[in-house]
């Protein structure tokens, strides 16, 4: 087959797809971070650890209880979201009136605890999780493994559904309004404290869901989240905290840019996102889609 700009199409499309897959995880995680930050004013540093917990819970469900992937896809996010419920009620609520920094420190501490516990129980090496969708299809210009296709489709669906609920429904209108002026929304008779708890749990559940999706694609390991979350924070800075669609577009877009960099200039592939972050911070400190607060 023809070569494009001196690159074999298999390699180009292969990297493009890996980029889209990474972008799927960037998008799902930055979406949750943005929703949590919007309503709680908390930079949820535990987000990566909660993604990791999602993968571990899926692994435990499979190996200890025999619950397969498709069951874990539903159960694991609910279980991890329940821990989010407790974290918000017990800890974050008390920090609500304080500076951002306290929430960040608390969730950073929680992340260290979650990772430490998992490392001591399961070791640092990482454990495999069987692929629930083996095989694939040859598209002519590239080979598409089913599971990779599923990750992209599932995360797109999750992101768009979240966007729809937030931007187009009554529930989402409460959320957007409470992000701006929580006390006014509460004075309308809406139980804003409960909404805050549920929103945190939702964001955490979203991270866990991404973790379950990631389990068959990567190793299930205690540091899988901390490796990813640094890049996700850069994605959030680039996209800006203000916009849901912004988080989705930036997540997928940066995944693709990173993938293409691997093809054309592999030396820069680990740093390209941080270079973009630095440039964006200079030109638009509030991020590409963020409104200056």
Which residues form the interface with other proteins (CB under 8 A)? 170, 173-174, 176-177, 179-181, 183-193
Q: How far is the CB of 91 from other proteins (least distance, A)?
A: 19
DSSP letter string over 15-38? HHHHHHHHHHHHHHHHHHHHHHHH
| Of 199 and 269, CB closest to other proteins | 199
Q: What angle do CA 112, 92, 57 make, to 5 degrees?
A: 50
Residue 49: both structure tokens together: 């650890």
Tell the smallest beta-carbon distance from residue 191 to other proteins (Å): 5
Rounded to a whole number of angstroms, the minimum distance from the CB of residue 199 to other proteins is: 15
Residue 190 vs 257, nearer CB to other proteins:
190
Q: DSSP per residue over the chain, as a string?
A: -PPBTTB-HHHHHHHHHHHHHHHHHHHHHHHHHHHHHHHH----TTHHHHHHHHHHHHHHHHHHH---HHHHHHHHHHHHHHHHHHHHHHTGGGGTTS-HHHHHHHHHHHHHHHHHHHHHHH-SS-B----SS--EEE-SSSEEEHHHHHHHHHHHHHHHHHHHHHHHSHHHHHHHHHHH-HHHHHHTT--HHHHHHHHHHHHHHHHHHHHHHHTTTS-B-TTHHHHHHHHHHHHHHHH-SS-HHHHHHHHHHHHHHHHHHHHH-GGGTTTHHHHHHHHHHHH-TT-SSPPP-
Nearer to other proteins, 12 or 195 (CB): 195
Distance in Å, CB of 286 to other proteins, minimum: 15
Shortest Å, Cβ 152 to other proteins: 30
Least CB distance to other proteins at residue 84 (A): 22
**Nearest CB to other proteins, comparing residues 94 and 181:** 181
Q: Which is nearer to other proteins, 3 or 94 (CB)?
A: 94
Nearer to other proteins, 63 or 168 (CB): 168
In the complex, the smallest distance separating the C-beta of residue 179 from other proteins, rounded to whole angstroms, is 7
When the beta carbons of 141 and 174 are compared against other proteins, the nearer one is 174
């Amino acid at each position: 087959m023809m070569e494009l700009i001196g690159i074999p199409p298999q390699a180009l499309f292969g990297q493009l797809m890996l980029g889209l897959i990474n972008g799927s995880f960037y998008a799902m995680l930055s979406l949750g971070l943005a929703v949590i930050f919007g309503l709680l004013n908390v930079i949820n540093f535990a987000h990566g650890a909660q993604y990791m917990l999602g993968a571990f819970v899926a692994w435990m469900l499979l190996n200890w209880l025999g619950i397969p992937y498709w069951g874990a896809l539903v159960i694991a996010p609910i279980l991890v979201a329940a821990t989010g419920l407790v974290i918000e009620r017990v800890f974050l609520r008390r920090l609500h009136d304080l500076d951002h920094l306290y929430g960040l420190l608390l969730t950073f501490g929680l992340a260290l605890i979650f990772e430490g516990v998992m490392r001591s129980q399961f070791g640092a090496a990482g454990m495999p999780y069987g692929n629930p969708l083996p095989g694939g299809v040859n598209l002519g210009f590239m080979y598409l493994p089913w599971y990779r296709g599923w990750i992209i489709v599932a995360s797109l669906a999750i992101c768009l559904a979240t966007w729809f609920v937030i931007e187009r429904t009554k529930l989402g209108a409460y959320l957007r309004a409470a992000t701006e002026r929580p006390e006014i929304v509460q004075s309308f008779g809406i139980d804003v404290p409960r909404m805050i708890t549920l929103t945190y749990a939702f964001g955490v559940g979203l991270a866990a869901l991404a973790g379950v999706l990631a389990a068959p694609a990567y190793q299930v390991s205690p540091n899988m989240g901390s490796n990813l979350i640094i890049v996700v924070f850069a994605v959030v800075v680039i996209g800006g905290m203000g916009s849901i669609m912004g988080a989705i577009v930036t997540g997928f877009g940066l995944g693709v840019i990173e993938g293409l960099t691997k093809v054309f200039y592999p030396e820069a592939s680990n740093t390209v996102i941080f270079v973009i972050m630095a440039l964006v911070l200079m030109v638009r400190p509030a991020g590409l889609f963020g409104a200056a607060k």
